[in-house]
Amino acid sequence: MKPESKPLIYSPNYNISFLGLEKLHPFDSCKYSKVVGFLEEANLIKTKHLVKPKKKPTYHHLLKVHSPAYLESLNTSLTVAQVTELLFLAAIPHFIIQKQVLDPFLYATSGSILAGHVAMERGWAINLSGGYHHCSFNQGGGFCAYSDITLCYHYVRQFYPKVKRVMIIDLDAHQGNGHENDKLHFDDEDAFILDMFNYAVYPGDKYAKQAINIAINAHDGIEDEEYLTKLESGLDQAFNVFKPDFIIYNAGTDILSGDPLGDMQLTANGVIKRDEMVFTSAFQNKAPIAMLLSGGYQQCNARVIADSIINLHKKFNLLDDVVLPTVQCKNCGKQFDPVNNKKGECSHTSTYHGTYGDCSYVKCALGLGSNIGYQHWGCCFKKDKNDNVCSKSKKHVS
């Protein structure tokens, strides 16, 4: 990805707002843009530097995880009404539902896939949506239409062959029965799941619970101190027995006090500390981490999410600009920035490098994003699309 890009994935297409839908479901379906707004107010980001999923996953992409029968079922308004738990949608023509409901889910799913790629390149990424942990290969539910978590690590494994062992840290208030059922269905022994949730609330999926490696009960009314103590113990146990190549962190904020569906009593500071603990564990274990926002059912959630990202930046300098080393042209000996080089800085650049280099491959492996992908300008990025050393880099720069 470009050096000025931030590992935050966002599209205005994430937001769901039509016919007052956002007022009829407890889920704040426009929280994603609010998070971006708060981060802009804090002068941490500019929208143009966010990674933007420009395309939706195709039917072919979704088939990597989903059954044809399930994808076909989403072509009916009734199924979408059941998945979103908004029964009035059953009476709305499907072409409207596709554009106003399913397309935002698809763009967010694209964002989760991109988050996996960005995390592998930068060490971390946050998709400002996604985390549809109730959806599995053959069934949706709980406002989750696509299995973006399973899709995320599926494509990370496909395009980064060294990645085999994946850890899912699911800290939404509800059981992540979607990715758990996927793990069982695909018999995936290299997926490790830590799931901390309220056993007393939806979905209560006993079959899916068999897939959990470490299950932690965050009971009704649990508060910061007890929650964080249990989480610390669970994280220590998880990393002692499993060394992940890649981590997906499902960071639901429905654990906040006052949430109508989570029934927990955590404060904003508790959520911020929780996220810091997870990122600390990932960095200490040198594992790339992709965070997804998942559930959160109050108007205050966007503010808490933004404050948590701000805290992560303060602790780990996550959003600092990337400074690339200059490289030396073998023809004239001049030093130049291989990414932002301008004509005239090195007399040979128009032949060998151009403005962005004639040996660059800046395309997402799935074609879903505009400013993410493999880059190999000069000696800073020497990998081509097949993960080989770029021959042009070797030839033209030291």
Give pLDDT, residue 351: 32
Taking only the tens place, the pLDDT of each residue in 237-278 is 999 999 999 999 999 999 999 999 999 999 999 999 999 999
Residue 19 has pLDDT above 80, yes or no: no
Residue 125: exposed, middle, or buried by beta-carbon count in 10 A (0-12, 13-18, 19+)?
buried
Task: Share the mean pLDDT of the chain.
Answer: 85
Separation CA 116–CA 163 (nearest Å): 11
Give pLDDT, residue 384: 42
pLDDT bracket for residue 30 (50, 70, 90): confident
pLDDT bracket for residue 17 (50, 70, 90): confident
Q: Pick left, alpha or beta for residue 37 (phi over 0 → left; psi -120 to 50 → alpha; otherwise beta).
A: alpha
Residue 68: exposed, middle, or buried by beta-carbon count in 10 A (0-12, 13-18, 19+)?
exposed
Reported pTM: 0.84
Torsion of CA 155, 160, 165, 168, to 10 degrees: -40
pLDDT bracket for residue 336 (50, 70, 90): low
pLDDT bracket for residue 2 (50, 70, 90): confident
278 versus 297: the higher-pLDDT residue is: 278
Give pLDDT, residue 325: 54
Separation CA 263–CA 255 (nearest Å): 7
Residue 28 has pLDDT above 90, yes or no: no
27 versus 281: the higher-pLDDT residue is: 281
The structure tokens 């040198």 sit at 286
Separation CA 194–CA 209 (nearest Å): 11
| Contact status, residue 89 vs residue 97, Cβ threshold 8 Å | yes
Q: Which of 131-145, 307-321, 368-382 has the lowest mean pLDDT?
A: 368-382
In the three-class reduction of DSSP (H, G, I as helix; E, B as strand; rest coil), residue 35 is classed as helix
Q: Residue 336 is inside which H or E element, if any? A: strand 335-336
Residue 358 has pLDDT above 50, yes or no: no
Amino acid at position 332, single letter = C
Q: Which of 50-59, 173-182, 388-397 has the lowest mean pLDDT?
A: 388-397
pLDDT bracket for residue 3 (50, 70, 90): confident
Token representation of residue 164: 């085999």
372 versus 41: the higher-pLDDT residue is: 41
Residue 43's contacts (CB-CB under 8 Å, 6 or more residues apart) are none
Q: Which domains does the chain have, with CATH numbers?
A: 6-316 (3.40.800.20), 325-398 (no CATH)
Separation CA 348–CA 385 (nearest Å): 25
Separation CA 187–CA 29 (nearest Å): 33
Q: Which of 58-62, 136-140, 219-223, 323-327 has the lowest mean pLDDT?
A: 323-327
| Contact status, residue 54 vs residue 324, Cβ threshold 8 Å | no
Residue 158 has pLDDT above 50, yes or no: yes
Residue 335 has pLDDT above 70, yes or no: no
Phi, psi dihedrals of residue 126, rounded to the nearest 5°: -130, 120
Other CB atoms within a 10 A radius of the CB of residue 171 amount to 27
Residue 225: exposed, middle, or buried by beta-carbon count in 10 A (0-12, 13-18, 19+)?
exposed
Taking only the tens place, the pLDDT of each residue in 164-206 is 999 999 999 999 999 999 999 999 999 999 999 999 999 999 9
Separation CA 9–CA 65 (nearest Å): 22
65 versus 375: the higher-pLDDT residue is: 65
User: What angle separates helix 148-159 from helix 177-185, to the nearest 10 degrees?
Assistant: 50
390 versus 139: the higher-pLDDT residue is: 139
* Cis preceding linkage at 203, omega within 30: yes
Residue 314's contacts (CB-CB under 8 Å, 6 or more residues apart) are none
Other CB atoms within a 10 A radius of the CB of residue 217 amount to 12
Q: What residues act catalytically? A: 134
pLDDT bracket for residue 337 (50, 70, 90): low
Give pLDDT, residue 4: 80
Separation CA 102–CA 144 (nearest Å): 10
